[in-house]
Structure 1
Amino acid sequence: MASKVENTNDPNNQQKLSISNDINYKITEFTDSKSTDKLNYNIKYPQLSGLIDVDKQKKINNTLKDEALKVLKYYEEPYGSVDVNIDYKIVLKTTNILSIQYSGVGYVSNAAHPNNLFYTTNINIKAGKRLRLKDIVNIDEDLASKFLNDGFKALWPEQGEALKHITNEEVQQNFKDADSLDNIGTEKQSDVFSYFTNDSLGISISVSHAIGDHAEFEIKYQDIKDNTKTENEIWNDLLNPTFESNNKK
């Protein structure tokens, strides 16, 4: 019996081939580095390959590189020599979503101590766009209340104490400005970043150096169903998961 041959001219088959290819997109580690008397940095970041739409792939890869390097904005006017080392971790990789955590250390020679750095980049693969917290949830008093009243769980319980001195209004404003390194040094600076896992939304906030410089809190997707912007297509994946997450580089 002759084997069945797919008709690649059929639009339906072409869509199937595209979806299959995009599911299997690959991630490769890249490094950007510099070494001078005043600035030394080594920043690792991911790049995609294997998407059918090469223009979208290029756009995503440019975004990934640009966002990874924006951490250097923290050190644009240093009072000593600067050393920055950043690595990354993929916390969610699906057909439609890529969520990346960046972490590392930044040090200025005359500073009392190094800074533990943490930031994230989230990508809507289907749309080829970066996602910010305000794109996926309704930021209001209810969401802020959940954050301040144990709806979100601290990954390190002792860091939960950091929430005692934050008001609901401050949380809302920081959430609205979250996921951007563009406003460092301005009144809109927000050291709040979001990320996705296979079952939870994570939010990182700035805390004192004594307790780590940053603290992460997570809440199950099912517990914020009432806060989601359901028109955003990524919730089809997150609330009805049929994917296998890749919690690795």
Structure 2
Amino acid sequence: MGELTGKGAVVTGGGRGIGLACARLIAHRGGSVALLGEDHEVLELAAATLRTEGLNVVAIAADVGIEDQVATAMEQSAAFLGSIDILVNNAAIQPYGTVASMGSAEWDHVIGVNLRGTYLTCHHALPHMLRLQRGSIINIASVQALANQTRVAAYATSKGGMLALTRSLAVDFGPSGIRANAVCPGCIDAPMTRFSAAKAAPGREEEILREWGKAQPLGRIGRPEEVAEVVAFLASDRASFCTGAEFRVDGGLMASLGVALPE
């Protein structure tokens, strides 16, 4: 019997990277998990892998930016899970561009997936949580909600909005027994990071990842499983007095000014 036994969890972007790591750990700790994502083949492969580990999971294809698909996916999730006790909003995209270079259609797409998608999943999961007067919403934001690299205007804006949305959820639904928190990963060895490394230096991805790791006080990039540990904690009753908070999983990146004094 794990600490999440009897809990039903929905994880968006659950087919790979951080989302898959969160789904796996929640399920290993006793929860049942619905994997949501746009790529049906990726989701089915992830679900099949988790089932070989004896875990109770289902794959449900849905674009989090399209409300009809989200509404249907939440009903399907609730039917499989029995209840929606945990919602992990992980689905995200990160195209590069400045406010000057990025067109409005691409800007709207980023906000639509990352921020509007989070709103839509919360909007359609909350009725299930409100009926039970309990729930934990965990929004996977980013350290780029707090400080920016160059050419990520839309992504950073969407993640900053997620932090504000998290606070609103905590304030509005705390009296109903529903907690909402955000997790802000730093540089994590996940598909999005590897895509960025390949774009920065094709054929030199591993070298680039090692270089990026040196920017963290811990001297390396993180693993999806390390983010999942924080998510699983927030999903559990051990985090019963945690809501409206931001939890950094960044190897100390945001604690450092990045300026070294001479010896």
TM-score by length of 2: 0.28
Determine which structure has more spread, i.e. the larger CA radius of gyration.
Answer: 1
Task: Considering fraction of residues, name the structure with more helix.
Answer: 2
What is the TM-score with the length of structure 1 in the denominator?
0.29
